[in-house]
Amino acid sequence: MPGVSPLTNPKSIQPTPPGPSTLAVHAGEERQKLGHAITDPIICASTFTFADTQAVIDYIEQDQSRGEYGRYGTPGEQVVERKLAALEGGESALLYSSGMAAIVGLLMSQLSSGDEVVFFDECYHRSREFCAKHLSRFGVVTRQVKMGDYVAMEDAITPNTRLLISESPTNPHQSVVDLERFVEIGKRHEVPTLIDATLATPYNLRPLEFGVDFVLHSATKYLGGHNDLLAGVLIGSAERMAPVRKLRGILGAVNSSHNIYLLERGLKTFELRMQRHNENGLAVARYLESHPAIETVLYPGLESHPYHDVAARTMRGFGGLVTFLVKDADWKATARIVDSVQLARIAPSLGGVETLIEQPLVMSYYQLQPEERAKFGIPDNMIRIACGIENSADLIADLDQAIRAGLSG
Ligand SMILES: *Cc1c(COP(=O)(O)O)cnc(C)c1O
């Protein structure tokens, strides 16, 4: 910029923040590591030593961030927590042994007897189950309102409401929350908000930038990314996270050092994998939408999706999960398509390098009555494919032969 002195050019004072892949590779790590190694060590220690009594006293009085006992935190865990906080653009991240442990840890820290929590009804079924079946035993009231009905959400708020919760996008319907409206309702009623952004990841959606108070991820999915670990993470302001961290030290749902290392290693390729998941998801969704035997495709990146506008406005990409309904197929014909697939593996979960496929009726809702399944919006002809990072042409060719084989069988 000619004529602008380096000191008055804001760009020269405030360097551009690093991109997601630079953060994924470097953020949170010490530059010089044990033994001059380029990678972090796996420290297998349940406890950490002090040189003398004064060192213990200094640790307590100065609130030092060193290790004390494994349940309260470990050096490897701190690295990954700092990396995840940087990727999400938050102050403080807290790791748990699974996504569910993170949800339970947060709810237990925020809710007491007589308090209420409001959910959008498409939230992860185990989270809702924990509230409705278990927190109710401790006097916590759960109110579920229809996904995307902001008026109903606001009407469900009472003076006892302590948390508004939603997933975005939801699974398997891929409904997307209008975060501006969601946050505005929370702020006006002074109720903190939580978004389970597992399906979006910090690459595709940045809930904290909209003013959401807590972001949650099952790191088992895209963050770990290799179908080889379970972990969960919560991210928020240092102030909000401090009591949550204290309670985690009591609940004890922490990861082994090996698990933490796998997560750190998986995160190195986070942006590269997300770019491919986004490309594969969109390519598979477009292919399915153009297929005459497919009735509906639920993918927020498609113009036909009911939540496409809000998704396009707020998300960078739309992930690898694609849900579709097969035209005029009963549950058996649908199952034949799933069974004819040769590349994808039949399994629950998503977000790993391997493509996974499942029929929600069978995988998650088999023991429910048809009326209950209808209530959850799970028709017999629904298939969910969680695209991995294989080449999209191969995924599409495989689906193409599977649909043909399944429907002729
Ligand atoms: C998998 C999942 C969870 C639960 O996480 P775990 O790591 O399996 O405990 C929660 N929310 C969403 C959206 C998920 O996909």
> Within a domain: residue 170?
yes
Do 302 and 262 share a structural domain? no
Alpha carbon of 100 to ligand 1 centroid (Å): 6
Q: 373 vs 200, which has greater pLDDT?
A: 200
Measured CA distances, 398 to 193, 357, 401, 404 (Å): 41, 12, 5, 10
Predicted local distance difference test score (pLDDT) of residue 1: 39
Do 85 and 173 share a structural domain? yes
Do 300 and 259 share a structural domain? no
> Within a domain: residue 27?
yes
Write b or e for each residue in 90-100: b if 16 or more Cβ atoms lie within 10 A of its Cβ, otherwise e. Answer: bebbbbbbbbb
Q: 98 lies in which domain range?
A: 6-267
Q: Which of 248, 267, 286 corresponds to the end of one domain? A: 267
Do 307 and 326 share a structural domain? yes
Do 259 and 391 share a structural domain? no
Write b or e for each residue in 4-34: b if 16 or more Cβ atoms lie within 10 A of its Cβ, otherwise e. Answer: eeeeeeeeeeeeeeeebbebbeebbbeeeee
CATH number of residue 379's parent domain: 3.90.1150.10
Q: In what order do the strands lie in the sheet with 193-196?
A: 92-96, 232-236, 214-218, 193-196, 161-167, 116-120, 141-145
Residue 242: half-sphere exposure toward Cβ, Cα within 13 Å: 3
Closest residue by CA, ligand 1 atom 13: 198
Give the Cα separation of 166 and 127 in Å (integer): 10
Give residues (CB < 6 A) around ligand 1.
98-100, 124, 167, 171, 196, 198-199, 218, 220-221, 230, 232
Predicted local distance difference test score (pLDDT) of residue 12: 52
Closest residue by CA, ligand 1 atom 8: 99
Do 245 and 305 share a structural domain? no
Do 16 and 122 share a structural domain? yes
Among 100, 106, 255, 350, say which to mutate for ligand 1: greatest number of ligand atoms within 8 Å of CB: 100
> Within a domain: residue 32?
yes
**Ligand 1 atom with the shortest distance to the CA of 101:** 9
**Ligand 1 atom with the shortest distance to the CA of 219:** 7
Mean pLDDT estimate for the chain? 95
> Within a domain: residue 1?
no
Cβ-count burial of 331 within 10 angstroms (0-12 exposed, 13-18 middle, 19+ buried)? middle
Predicted local distance difference test score (pLDDT) of residue 128: 83
CATH number of residue 217's parent domain: 3.40.640.10
Q: In what order do the strands lie in the sheet with 356-358?
A: 294-298, 321-326, 382-386, 356-358, 345-346
Q: What is the mean pLDDT of residues 152-158?
A: 98
DSSP state of 125: H
> Within a domain: residue 366?
yes
Under a CB-based contact definition with an 8 Å cutoff, are residues 99 and 232 in contact? yes
**pLDDT tier at 13 (50, 70, 90 boundaries)?**
low
Alpha carbon of 208 to ligand 1 centroid (Å): 19
Do 356 and 218 share a structural domain? no
Q: Which of 267, 297, 318 corresponds to the end of one domain? A: 267
Do 247 and 354 share a structural domain? no
Residue 25: half-sphere exposure toward Cβ, Cα within 13 Å: 9
Alpha carbon of 231 to ligand 1 centroid (Å): 9
**Ligand 1 atom with the shortest distance to the CA of 349:** 1
Do 310 and 196 share a structural domain? no
Closest-CA residue to 25 (of 266, 256, 279, 278): 266
Do 287 and 175 share a structural domain? no
What's the whole-model pTM score?
Answer: 0.95
Sequence-distant (≥ 6) Cβ neighbours of residue 361 within 8 angstroms: 331, 334, 373, 378, 379, 380, 382
Q: What is the mean pLDDT of residues 21-30?
A: 97
Q: Per-residue pLDDT tens for 98-153?
A: 999 999 999 999 999 999 999 998 888 888 889 989 999 999 999 999 999 999 99
Q: Per-residue pLDDT tens for 309-353?
A: 999 999 999 999 999 999 999 999 999 999 999 999 999 999 999
Q: Of 120-129, 158-167, 273-282, where does mean pLDDT reach its minimum?
A: 120-129
Q: Per-residue pLDDT tens for 240-257?
A: 999 999 999 999 999 999
Give the Cα separation of 357 and 318 in Å (integer): 18
Number of domains in the chain: 2
Q: Which of 267, 293, 315 corresponds to the end of one domain? A: 267
Predicted local distance difference test score (pLDDT) of residue 124: 83
User: Greatest CA separation found in the chain?
Assistant: 77
Do 113 and 245 share a structural domain? yes
